């Protein structure tokens, strides 16, 4: 006769802290070419970056580096440390130009002004997994660049249940970074539409 599993002996899902995640990397658990991220205590193996995805990150970098100037540091696929159990590596982040430029530690939630994720096949993952992690850490603004549908989703005003403001922009729109009004607007078309130099 089948019996009910004893809750004390049933398998349990194990969550990891950022410190444990680093120790795993130091121990060689991950390969040199593995793209992994720790989100809400869970380790995710990320898909390889395709050429369209990479070209969009290049466009974003070219757009934001001259605009940011002394107002922010542009980080491309570098970690930001959120809480004790999340360290994502967004495609692009604008962070405050802190003392020491984050030599001794990665930027945290208070340092992060904008996060941008580029999605070709990963939109559902970015929206349903990463976005709640960003909201829970109170990151003020997140852009999800949807390459398939040529749209940019802008999320602001984080709360315990996610972001309370969600705007969808197409190629005719201009976008601004709420925390950096002095850098001016960015054309959605310049982010979404490849030029000859991208091809």
3-state secondary structure of 90: coil
CB-CB contact of 164 with 157 (8 Å): yes
CB-CB contact of 9 with 3 (8 Å): no
User: To which H or E segment does residue 192 belong?
Assistant: helix 188-192
Q: Is the pTM of this model over 0.75?
A: yes
Domain locations in the chain as residue ranges: 49-198
Range with the largest mean pLDDT of 40-54, 120-134, 164-178: 164-178
Q: In which band, very low, low, confident or very high, does the pLDDT at 150 lie, cut at 50, 70 and 90? A: very high
Q: What is the Cα Rg of the chain in Å?
A: 18
Candidate CATH numbers 3.90.79.10, 3.40.50.720, 3.90.1570.10, 3.40.50.620; the one for domain 49-198:
3.90.1570.10
> CB 152: neighbour CB atoms within 10 A?
23
Average pLDDT over residues 166-191: 95
Q: What is the rounded average pLDDT for all residues in the chain?
A: 87
Query: Per mean pLDDT, which range of 7-21, 90-104, 143-157 is the poorest?
Result: 7-21
């Amino acid at each position: 006769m089948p019996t009910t599993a004893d809750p004390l002996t049933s398998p349990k899902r194990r969550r990891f802290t950022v410190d444990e995640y680093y120790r795993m990397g130091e121990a060689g658990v991950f390969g040199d070419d593995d793209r992994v991220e720790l989100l809400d205590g869970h380790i995710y193996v990320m898909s390889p970056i395709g050429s369209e995805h990479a070209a969009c990150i290049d466009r974003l970098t070219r757009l934001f580096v001259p605009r940011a100037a002394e107002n922010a540091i542009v980080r491309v696929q570098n970690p930001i440390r959120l809480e004790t159990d999340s360290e994502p590596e967004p495609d692009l982040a604008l962070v405050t130009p802190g003392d020491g430029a984050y030599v001794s530690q990665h930027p945290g939630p208070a340092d992060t002004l904008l996060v941008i994720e580029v999605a070709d096949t990963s939109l559902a993952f970015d929206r349903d997994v990463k976005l709640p992690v960003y909201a829970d850490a109170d990151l003020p603004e997140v852009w999800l660049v949807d390459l398939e549908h040529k749209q940019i989703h802008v999320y602001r005003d984080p709360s315990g249940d996610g972001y309370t403001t969600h705007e969808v922009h197409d190629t005719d729109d201009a976008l601004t970074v709420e925390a950096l009004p002095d850098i001016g607007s960015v054309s959605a078309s310049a982010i979404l539409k490849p030029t000859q130099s991208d091809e």
